[in-house]
Amino acid sequence: MPELPEVETVRRGLAPVMEGQVIIRAEVNRPDLRWPLPDRMAERLTGQRILALRRRSKYILADLSSGETLLIHLGMSGRMLISGAMVGEFHHDHPAPQKHDHVILTMSGGARITFNDARRFGAMDLMPTVTAEGHPLLASIGPEPFGNDFSEPYLAARLKGRNTPIKSALLDQRIVAGLGNIYVCETLFRAGISPLRLAGKVKKPAALVPIIRQVLSEAIDAGGSSLRDYRQADGELGYFQKHFQVYGREGQPCETPGCGATIKRTVQSGRSSFWCPACQR
C-alpha cells in the first residue's frame, strides 16, 4: 500500500493541473470502491473549483469551492493518472477508456484525471471542509512527520514505557502519520535499532525524528517506491526501491562497510521486518 512518500508524490504531480481549476465534468462509473461512494458524487463534484490539494497521512484531500472536501485513498492498486496536459517535459494524450477507470475528472484547463483501481481497495468520500479533520478515517491520526507537532520531546513522550516493539509503535498512525512498513524498516536500520526492541527500551527515541524525516525526504525526491502497482501521476515508476538498505533484502549482505552480516526477515504482527542483526541492537 502506498505510504506517505508515494501519496505526497502523487499530490505534487496532481497539484499543477488541479489546483485553481474547475471540474467541468465528473464521471463516476460504479457505486463503490472499498466502500460505497458518496451519494450524487458526480453531481456534487461537477462545476466545483479545487481551491487546494492537501495530504493528510496517506490521504489526498481536495478542498472544493462548494465547501466540501474530496477525500482520496489509493488503496493497494489505485492510480491517479493525468492525461491531456503537460506533466513535466511530456504531454500525455488521453488514453482509451480502461476497464478499471472508476472515477474520471475533466478539468477546465484541459487535463483529465483518472482514478484507476483494479483491486478496488481504494476509497473516496465527500465531507464538509470545516469538519474534515473529524472524518472517521482522519480523526485519530497523529501528527505529520514534517510538522512542528512531531518533535523530539513528543516522540520520546509517546514511546516512554511502551511494551510494544518499536517497529509496531512507529507503524501506529496514532503516533505518527503516514509511516508504513518500508520506511519504518529503513528508518530503524539507519538508527541502528532492532525492530524487536521494545519501544520503551529505546535509549534515545528522540534521535528517530530527524532520521524519519531524512528517509521520507529522500523517498519523496526519488518519486516514492514502486514495488507492484504504484505509479506517479504521470505514470512513471518511483525509484527509492533502488536505495533500500534492508527492505526486501533478506539473505543479502549488509551494506554497512565491514559488517559482514546478512539481512534477516522477521514477521511481526503479520508484517515482514527486514533488519541487520549486527548493526541493529
Neighbour tally for 131: CB within 10 Å: 10
> Which pLDDT tens digit goes with each residue over 1-47?
788 998 999 999 899 999 999 999 999 999 999 999 999 999 999 99
Instruction: Give the per-residue pLDDT at 233.
Output: 59
Q: Where are the domains of the chain?
A: 4-134, 152-275
pTM of the model: 0.90
The one catalytic residue among 55, 58, 112, 264: 58
Cell of 98: 480502461
Is 213 within 8 Å of 186 (Cβ atoms)?
A: no
Output the average pLDDT for the chain: 91
Average pLDDT over residues 64-81: 94
Cell of 53: 490539494
The one catalytic residue among 27, 190, 271, 277: 271
> Alpha-carbon torsion 132, 135, 140, 146, what sign?
negative
Instruction: Give the per-residue pLDDT at 97.
Output: 78
Average pLDDT over residues 140-149: 98
Residue 230 binned pLDDT confidence (cut-offs 50, 70, 90): very low
Instruction: Give the per-residue pLDDT at 227.
Output: 45
Q: Report how far apart, in Å, the C-alpha atoms of 255 and of each of 153, 225, 249 are.
A: 31, 19, 10
Residues 6+ apart with CB under 8 A from 41: 26, 28, 103, 124, 126
Q: What is the DSSP letter of 37?
A: P
Pick the CATH number of 152-275 from 3.40.470.10, 1.20.1050.10, 1.10.8.50, 3.40.50.1820: 1.10.8.50
Q: Which residue from 1, 39, 20, 234 is spatially nearest to 109, judged by alpha carbons? A: 20
The one catalytic residue among 2, 16, 195, 205: 2
> Which pLDDT tens digit goes with each residue over 155-164?
999 999 999 9
| Cα Dmax for the chain | 62
Cell of 183: 520506511
Instruction: Give the per-residue pLDDT at 226.
Output: 46
Whether 95 sits among the annotated catalytic residues: the reply is no
Whole-angstrom distance, CA of residue 145 vs CA of residue 115? 27
Instruction: Give the per-residue pLDDT at 229.
Output: 47
Whether 68 sits among the annotated catalytic residues: the reply is no
Whether 8 sits among the annotated catalytic residues: the reply is no
> Which pLDDT tens digit goes with each residue over 176-191?
999 999 999 999 999 9
What 3-state DSSP class applies to 209? helix
Whether 2 sits among the annotated catalytic residues: the reply is yes
Residue 243 binned pLDDT confidence (cut-offs 50, 70, 90): confident
User: ∠ CA(79), CA(228), CA(261), 5° rounding?
Assistant: 140
Question: Would you say domain 4-134 falls under CATH 3.40.50.720?
Answer: no
> Which pLDDT tens digit goes with each residue over 196-222?
999 999 999 999 999 999 999 999 988
